[in-house]
Structures are given as C-alpha cells and as structure tokens.
Amino acid sequence: MDKKTTTCATEDSNTSSSLISDDLRSFYATHGLDIDRLVDHKSQNDKARATSDGNATFASRFVRLNPRFDREETLRRLKEELASSSDVASCDPVPIPWLDDKLGFYVLPGNFRLVQSPCYQEGRIYGMDVSSGAAIGALLSDRYDKNRTVEANSNHMTTRQEPFRVLDLCCAPGLKLCAIADYLPQATLQPSSTIVVGVDVSEHRIATCKKILQKYHLPIKQQPDEATTEISTQKQQSSHMREQKIQMRLYCADGTTFDQPYNHNQLLPKLVFDSQSALEETGGKRKRMNKSARARERKRLKSLVTVDFDCGGDRHQPLPSADNNNHQKEEDPAVPRKEDTSSKQQHPWKAKLFDRVLVDAECSTDGSLKHIAKQINAAVNGGAVAPMLTNAAELSKLVELQKQLAATGFRLLKPGGTMVYSTCSLSKDQNENVVAWMLETFADKAELIPVEFSVGGAAEGESGDNTLMGPRVSTGPLGVRFEPCLPPPNESGGTATITTNYTGGGFFLAKIRKRK
Ligand SMILES: C[S@@+](CC[C@H](N)C(=O)[O-])C[C@H]1O[C@@H](n2cnc3c(N)ncnc32)[C@H](O)[C@@H]1O
C-alpha cells in the first residue's frame, strides 16, 4: 500500500492532518467520511471547548437513560442542566424514533459536557452511541428482523422453567452489558429469570466493567429515593409480565477458548463478579470491602463457577485444578502432561450454552469518531493513525481473532439461539468478510437474520427515511452498516443545538441464528 501522505492546508489541523496517509484518506472517503474535515472538526471543537465558543458544530451526543431511575425525573433534570448551560441551547432531550423507546436513547446537543453532568455522575444516564443501542435491540428483540412473521416467542418464554442465558463475549468496559441487563426485563422476550454473563480478556478492563455495574446499580436494584421506576410501573401495567430476576456474572477469560472443555489439568475461567454474591456481601449497599470481605468474596466466587459450567450432570466431579481455581496459570510446556485415565477426563467441565450471544469484537475502531480523534491526538505525539488498518500483518491477526471470537460465540449458542456480531470498524475485512466466513464455516447450522432500522417503517432506500434522527444506515446482504457522519460545515451559530441529522460514528452489526 502506498504510504504517501498529503498535507492539508487548514492552519489548525495542519499538523494532525498531514499524518494521515492517502490510503487511509481514501478508505474513509469510500465510507463518505472526509477525514480532513474530521480533523478540522476536531481541532475546531477542541478550541471551542477550551474557549467556550459556541460557534463550533459537534457530532451528536447520545445518552441512554438508566431505567432504575424515574424517566420523567431524569428528563426534567437533564432539561434543567441544558437550560443552565451557557454552551448549549435550552432544549428538550429528543428520543430516537427508530429505536425501541424502552432502550431509553435520547440525543442531546453535541457539546453537552457529559462527565460534568450531575445526571451522569449520579448514574442516571449512560453516554452511549445510538448504534450500540441498535446492536442490543437486534440481539434481544425480533422487532428489527426484516422478515419477522410472528410476535416474539414471549409465550414460550414466560412458561419456560430454565433461566434465559445471555453472553457478552467481549464485554468491557460494559456499556452494552448494562444495556442488555436494562433492556431484558422490558424486551419482548420476558423470561422469568435471566443470567447475563460478561467475558473479557483484559483484567483492567473487566475491573472497569465491574465498577460500571456498580455505578449504574446493576443488577436491578431500586434506588431508595425512587418509589416508582420504569420497570416496576411496567410490571404493574402489564399483568402478563412476570417478576424478572437478573443475575450477572463477569469472567476474566479469553473469549476464544471460553467454550472449551476443561479437564483437571486446566483452570476454569476466572469469575471476578457475581451479582448475587455481591448483594449478599454488601447487603445491597455500595460499600468498600475490607480484606476479609474480599477473601470471602473470592471463596464464594470460586464455588460459583459451576453455575456456568457443568460436568454432564455429574455433580461430584471436582472442579478443574481444585487447589486454586481462581488464578489462571500457564501450563509449563516443559512438564509433560500426566496421562489421566480417571473419570475426570471422561467428563470434562463444559460451558453451559446461551440463548443469546453478543460478540462485540475487538477491532481497529476506525469507525468511532472518538477513537479517530484520540488516534490523531496520539499521532501528533509521535504515534501512528490507524496502524491496525494500514498494516497488513496486524490486520490479518486481528481478523483471525475476530473469527475465533465469532466462532466461539456461535458454538456457545443453544440451537435456535441468536447471536449478534458487531464492530465499530468500517473495514469489510472485519465485518462482512467475518460474517461470510461464519456462514461458510458453520454452513449446516448458521443462518443470517436480516435486520433493518428505519423511521416510521419507510422502505429502505427511500429518501429521508433513514436520515431524520437516524444514522445513515445501509442494509447489505451480510449485515447493517451505520456510516459515520459529521454535522454540516459551519451549520451552527451561537449556542449549539440538537441537529436533526444523526451525526456519529460508524458501526456494523449482523445477526446470526443457530438452526435447531
Ligand atoms: C469493542 S470492545 C467491547 C466494548 C463493550 N462491548 C462495550 O460495549 O462496552 C472489545 C473488547 O474485547 C476485548 N477482547 C479482546 N480480545 C479478547 C479475547 N480474546 N477474549 C475476550 N475479550 C477480548 C477487549 O479487551 C475489549 O474490551
């Protein structure tokens, strides 16, 4: 690939724009994103933020409401925050019309300062791109299925005895995991009890994930000052909705091997959080644990691993590596494996299967405006912009990881279950090609479920149907693309307002079902 770079003439963005190679520039151009404008946009906004200049345009700021707080109250407080800000115009948060209202997504002016917002600090709102909401909608509801013929199988769900199991295989820092837990009680599925399992290979990211669950009071823990939450109101209104219990567990583990059978030589994945255990330990209150409480928690977690792994019904099988199951140890390759002829090897521990699996895979993040901006910042300090995209060896390693994650996710699905594969990359290699590989590799079992998102049910391709408060969506034969989009140049004057066009990052998602 030609690594020639050209220099952009814009004074503010000169340094950063000149770091962008031509191949990267044309990559973005094919997705309708003018990378030089993005660089401009970013430097303009950095300047505007620093000087509180209201003349900048900003990509939309999407937020998702925490359903454990009263929705009206959160909206009222948000409106107050907008009214008292000097940077943004006084306005109402606007709901996203093409996404299930129960997902709780709203758009705010792009320069709304999220981290400084009291609503955000209190855990009333999450900062989350609307395309991520689409991934959760596709995962847990059939309302976006293009060929949907029947209502969700809620009857079946409400009568089934076993819990509904959802896996998020690359879960950290946990925004989609929280959205899964928040949406499930309100989604069309309505199972009576639910287990949500999050897995991530990164120890520090899974630690962040645990903190995020705590910040947002998950799982379902009503705030003492909120007598009526959205969920409880809905429960009262809808008599057929049964009490929902959600258990959440987090594992620090490699998602590419999470499905493998574990015998006594291997260690089961490390369970780092169990909601039930956390509630018992803290009595439902958020509090810092002392050393002995942490030791008790570790012990409890160790015994709990069996809830997600079983040994073919043989409850007496010892856990793999009985001495210390909670520490991942590398096997020393120099030490020969002991031959095991005992029953342990005949009944290895296996991960239980799931009804829904989300594989929000590690990717080159080239579709995320925030990540591009971060990269440009890093590039100014001597880094490289999108090295994963422009380095063939790194890209193919990454694609291999994505395939392994997608394949593991698929193997962990129950027959009849569905998975969503998603990335925030625009590259075909990491999206459509991975999906095509999945369909080929699991040809006898995998089928693609076409999904679509549109406003007011307008047909795909009709002008206006997919631009109003909606992303530029393109539904291809192998998935849905949310193309990145910036606000029109020099649109605003004075304080920033909500732009009626979606402005945000790129995203890809595909829904795959495992045939029965
Ligand atoms: C795109 S991020 C996930 C974002 C997350 N779903 C959310 O909404 O907050 C990808 C994640 O994959 C994790 N990851 C990378 N390789 C992995 C592997 N082999 N197994 C499990 N997780 C992995 C990374 O640590 C990273 O947290």
Domain carrying residue 296:
267-329
pLDDT for the residue numbered 12 = 43
For ligand 1, the distance from its centroid to the CA atom of residue 406, given in whole angstroms, is 12
CA–CA dist 115, 81 (Å, integer): 13
**How would residue 453 be classed by pLDDT, with cut points 50, 70 and 90?**
confident
Amino acid at 150: V
**How would residue 238 be classed by pLDDT, with cut points 50, 70 and 90?**
very low
Between 285 and 460, the higher pLDDT residue: 285
Of 67, 65, 358, 62, the closest CA to residue 186 belongs to 67
Instruction: Extract the tokens encoding 259.
Output: 């499905």
pLDDT for the residue numbered 42 = 67
Of 167, 237, 213, the closest CA to residue 421 belongs to 167
For ligand 1, the distance from its centroid to the CA atom of residue 329, given in whole angstroms, is 21
- State pLDDT tens for residues 325-377: 444 443 444 443 344 444 445 678 899 999 999 999 999 988 887 787 777 77
Assess if residue 85 is contained within a domain: yes
CA–CA dist 52, 88 (Å, integer): 10
Buried b (16+ CB within 10 A) or exposed e, 341-358: eeebeebbbbbbbbbbbb
- State pLDDT tens for residues 468-511: 455 567 778 899 988 877 766 554 445 555 554 566 778 999 99
Assess if residue 3 is contained within a domain: no
* Pair (292, 168) in one structural domain: no
Residue in the block written with tokens 């820092």? 173
Last residue of a domain, one of 301, 329, 357: 329
* Pair (239, 294) in one structural domain: no
* Pair (306, 356) in one structural domain: no
Query: Could you tell me if the CB of 208 is within 6 A of ligand 1?
Result: no
CA–CA dist 238, 158 (Å, integer): 13
- State pLDDT tens for residues 113-133: 899 999 999 999 999 988 999
**Partner residues linked to 198 by β-bridges:** 168, 250
For ligand 1, the distance from its centroid to the CA atom of residue 172, given in whole angstroms, is 6
Residue 450 burial by Cβ neighbours in a 10 Å radius (0-12, 13-18, 19+)? middle
CA–CA dist 118, 134 (Å, integer): 26
Assess if residue 342 is contained within a domain: no
Report the domain count for the chain: 2
Rg (CA), the chain: 24
Query: Could you tell me if the CB of 205 is within 6 A of ligand 1?
Result: yes
Assess if residue 59 is contained within a domain: yes
Could you give the C-alpha distances from 277 to 41, 246, 273, 293, 361, in angstroms and in order? Answer: 47, 13, 8, 11, 28
Query: Could you tell me if the CB of 407 is within 6 A of ligand 1?
Result: no
pLDDT for the residue numbered 237 = 39
Dihedral class, residue 145 (left if φ above 0, else alpha if ψ from -120 to 50, else beta)? beta
Q: Which of 64, 136, 139, 201 to mutate to test the pocket of ligand 1 (most atoms within 8 A of CB)?
A: 201
Assess if residue 441 is contained within a domain: yes
For ligand 1, the distance from its centroid to the CA atom of residue 170, given in whole angstroms, is 4
Of 33, 11, 7, the closest CA to residue 21 belongs to 7
Assess if residue 243 is contained within a domain: yes
Ligand 1 atom closest to the Cα of residue 363 is 1
Of 244, 105, 258, 100, the closest CA to residue 168 belongs to 258
Average pLDDT over residues 49-78: 79
Residue nearest to atom 17 of ligand 1 (CA): 201
* Pair (280, 253) in one structural domain: no
Ligand 1 atom closest to the Cα of residue 255 is 20
Query: Could you tell me if the CB of 362 is within 6 A of ligand 1?
Result: yes
CA–CA dist 79, 83 (Å, integer): 6
* Pair (423, 384) in one structural domain: yes
| pLDDT over threshold 50, residue 251 | yes
* Pair (209, 156) in one structural domain: yes
Q: 209 catalytic, yes or no?
A: no
Q: Which of 130, 258, 362, 422 to mutate to test the pocket of ligand 1 (most atoms within 8 A of CB)?
A: 362
* Pair (358, 408) in one structural domain: yes
Residue nearest to atom 27 of ligand 1 (CA): 172
Query: Could you tell me if the CB of 174 is within 6 A of ligand 1?
Result: yes
pLDDT for the residue numbered 374 = 76
* Pair (430, 290) in one structural domain: no
Between 247 and 490, the higher pLDDT residue: 247
Average pLDDT over residues 302-314: 79
For ligand 1, the distance from its centroid to the CA atom of residue 509, given in whole angstroms, is 15
Q: Report which DSSP code applies to 500.
A: S
Ligand 1 atom closest to the Cα of residue 176 is 8
Ligand 1 atom closest to the Cα of residue 209 is 9
Amino acid at 411: R
* Pair (476, 387) in one structural domain: yes
Amino acid at 308: D
Domain containing residue 61: CATH number? 3.40.50.150
* Pair (107, 121) in one structural domain: yes
CA–CA dist 8, 65 (Å, integer): 40
- Concatenating the DSSP letter of every residue in 86-146 gives SSB-----EE-TTS-GGG-EEEE-TT--GGG-HHHHTTSEEE--HHHHHHHHHHH-STTBT
- State pLDDT tens for residues 81-90: 988 877 666 7
Assess if residue 337 is contained within a domain: no
* Pair (378, 251) in one structural domain: yes
Assess if residue 457 is contained within a domain: yes
* Pair (423, 501) in one structural domain: yes
* Binding-site residues from annotation for S-adenosyl-L-methionine: 340, 360
Dihedral class, residue 174 (left if φ above 0, else alpha if ψ from -120 to 50, else beta)? left
